Chains A and B, each alone.
Chain A
Amino acid sequence: SSELTQDPAVSVALGQTVRITCQGDSLRSYYASWYQQKPGQAPVLVIYGKNNRPSGIPDRFSGSRSGNTASLTITGAQAEDEADYYCNSRDSSGNHVVFGGGTKLTVL
């Protein structure tokens, strides 16, 4: 199996841009998906594939990939974006799924 590594915590000033990263060998072969989870709630998919947003996700959320690193960018962070963010992808074997450890985003 493979691992995905995320920074445990990131902060951003209200209205500014923040990038949350996810590193892992599997990301050279597979795109990451990104999930937002607020306290007491189930995760919500915010980005999948090359850079796709499910219906209802604001366009301030975007995704990208370079080498073994995937990034989730929030352009103009809002107070309601404060949450835990998780990346995932298929693992290097392609038969399993792996999650990153999560990043706690604080909006100041």
Chain B
Amino acid sequence: EVQLVESGGGLVQPGRSLRLSCAASGFTFDDYAMHWVRQAPGMGLEWVSGISWNSGSIGYADSVKGRFTISRDNAKNSLYLQMNSLRAEDTAFYYCAKDMGITASGNFDYWGQGTLVTVSS
């Protein structure tokens, strides 16, 4: 059974940093691209960042470029999102999602349950 379990969310002050993790199991992690997608409370889905199977191709939404860094450790079956210079508008549930391809196809067949990040003073 495929499982994606996010962790690392919480309350953080504006301007501070937070690191999210996603532990993957039930599939061959290094065969697939992975993504972070966020959803502000009551709002729609927003793609944040994606990384190919071997970290050779990485992309970011304009809203987080230069502040967020995605990475993966295939030996640990884990995906990460380092979030720096956090803003109130970064407040959202952050989902880890598995792509169906080795690079970003846009087809996300499995999602975690999400971790809530709240940016507030």
Residues of A within 8 A of B (CB): 1, 30, 32-33, 35, 37, 42-45, 48-49, 54, 84, 86, 88-90, 95-102
Contact = CB atoms under 8 A, between A and B. Distances in A.
Interface footprint category on B: 20 to 34
Given A89-B106, A97-B47, 19 more contacts: A1-B61, A30-B106, A33-B107, A33-B108, A43-B37, A48-B107, A54-B109, A86-B45, A88-B47, A90-B104, A96-B47, A96-B60, A97-B50, A97-B104, A97-B106, A99-B47, A100-B44, A102-B44, A102-B45
Interface in B63-86: none
Considering the complex of A and B, which 7 residue pairs feature the smallest CB-CB distances, nearest first? A42-B111, A48-B107, A97-B47, A102-B44, A99-B45, A90-B106, A96-B59
B29 interface: no
6 contacts: A33-B107, A49-B107, A90-B106, A96-B59, A96-B60, A102-B44
A101 to B, nearest CB: 5
Contacts of B105: 90
Nearest to B63: A1
A48 B59 CA distance: 21
A45 B100 CA distance: 11
Nearest to A96: B59
